[in-house]
Amino acid sequence: MYNKVFLIGNLTRDPEVRFTNSGIPVARFAVAVNRPTSKKGDGGQNEVDFINIVAWRRLAEICRDYMKKGRPIAIEGSLQIRKYEKDGEKRSFTEVVADNIQMLGRREDQGKAGPAEEVKTPAAAPEIKEDDQEVPF
């Protein structure tokens, strides 16, 4: 089995970085991605999906430092469904755990388009302890 997601879209807000109880940085943000509709008579319109993204460790810090609302990015990661209980009701939500992020378009500090910047997580992802899952978001 294989769980791999590739997305290209625009950031809907600046990444928000928090820290787990053990001090591991976690960034959360969303991207808006277009999805073509197949409805007749829609004139080739797209629908927009808002996808939640989470990045851990050094990748989270890079997201905080370099990514801003509206910036186009490409994300490679895996789909994750998190379950929790609130007020006695079981809930779940889906998010993409980012492995690689490539910032597209212009660099903010240059007046002309530069090469795309790619950021990757370390090859061996460290084990996440149960208390590290408790991120205050």
One-letter-per-residue 3-state SS of the chain: CCCCEEEEEEECCCCEEEECCCCCEEEEEEEEEEEECCCCCCCCCEEEEEEEEEEEHHHHHHHHHHCCCCCEEEEEEEEEEEEEEECCEEEEEEEEEEEEEEECCCCCCCCCCCCCEEEECCCCCCCCCHHHHCCCC
From 20-29, 102-111, 112-121, the region with the lowest mean pLDDT = 112-121
| Domain coordinates in residue numbering, the chain | 5-129
Secondary-structure class of domain 5-129 per CATH: mainly beta
Is the per-residue pLDDT at 32 higher than 80? yes
- What value does the mean pLDDT take over residues 35-41? 73
Q: Can you give the pLDDT at residue 75?
A: 95
From 39-48, 82-91, 95-104, the region with the lowest mean pLDDT = 39-48
Is the per-residue pLDDT at 17 higher than 50? yes
